[in-house]
Amino acid sequence: MKLPNLAERLERHLADWLGAWPPTGELTIVGSAHRVTPAWDGKIYPVAGVETPEGTVLSVPSDAVERTRAAGDDLAAIGAALPAIVGRPDARFGRGVFRWCQELLDDADPEAAWIPPDDERVPPWLAVFNGDVLVHLDEHGGYGAGVGRKRHDDFGQELSVATLEHLQGRGIARRLVAQAARRVADEGAVATYLHHPFNIASAHVAEAAGFPDTGWWVLGLPVAS
């Protein structure tokens, strides 16, 4: 069976999500309509970016491109100015670890099932996702752990996972993420995975599920409620 070209799908996803990819230099600032229109969850994210060892693409509203470019010569200076530029003066520019699935693993949770996000067994944090969610069912048929998919576009779906405390340490999250990544690939997209730099548990899950840390970062501002 021919394996999907996940790297090509990632490039197409980032080009759509950010407005341009790959970066054309150390820092590429572009405007995108996605920065002023509702995203997967109906909220507006005025700043998005991906930083790599080879360069960075920073995406802002089209009418903010020139002001962003004039804010400084490096990402630190620009990041400090961005909240005011995009009308979110109380927000703080930040970064998280950006990973993408580079290996599809034959690893699945036998107690997991794909169910609609509005199923009564799905907890509130998982119910907001815009696609079926993968849920590990406990011995009583209730929620024990789950993965949601943020379906950004036709080529990229971001995964989020959580496990109830009493079930942690059993490899459930790893299997769920690997299983969800394969579902995403079967749908013609690539799975991405973001986490805080100090979230060691999340980093271990991602690494074990086929999402290595390649020194990439996701950039942005907290979204307004």
CB 68, CB 48: distance < 8 Å: no
Joined together, the tokens standing for residue 155 give 């080529």
Question: What pLDDT, on a 0 to 100 scale, did the predictor assign at position 15?
Answer: 98
| Contacts for 225 with CB less than 8 Å, ≥ 6 apart | none
List strand residue ranges (DSSP E) for 46-128, in order.
48-52, 55-60, 94-100, 112-115
Task: Show me where the domains of the chain are located.
Answer: 6-100, 112-192+204-209
Question: pLDDT, tens digit, for every residue of 164-198?
Answer: 999 999 999 999 999 999 999 999 999 999 999 99
CB 158, CB 116: distance < 8 Å: no
Question: pLDDT, tens digit, for every residue of 204-222?
Answer: 999 999 999 999 999 999 7
Q: Across the strands, what pairs with 95?
A: 219
Question: pLDDT, tens digit, for every residue of 107-150?
Answer: 889 999 999 999 999 999 999 999 899 999 988 888 999 999 99
* Distances 17 to 40, 52, 133, 153, 210 between C-alpha atoms, Å: 11, 16, 22, 7, 22
In CATH, the architecture of 112-192+204-209 is 3-Layer(aba) Sandwich (3.40)
Question: What pLDDT, on a 0 to 100 scale, did the predictor assign at position 3?
Answer: 60
Whether residue 6 is predicted with pLDDT greater than 60 in this model: the reply is: yes
Single-letter amino acid, residue 225: S
| Contacts for 86 with CB less than 8 Å, ≥ 6 apart | 35, 46, 47, 60, 61, 64, 221
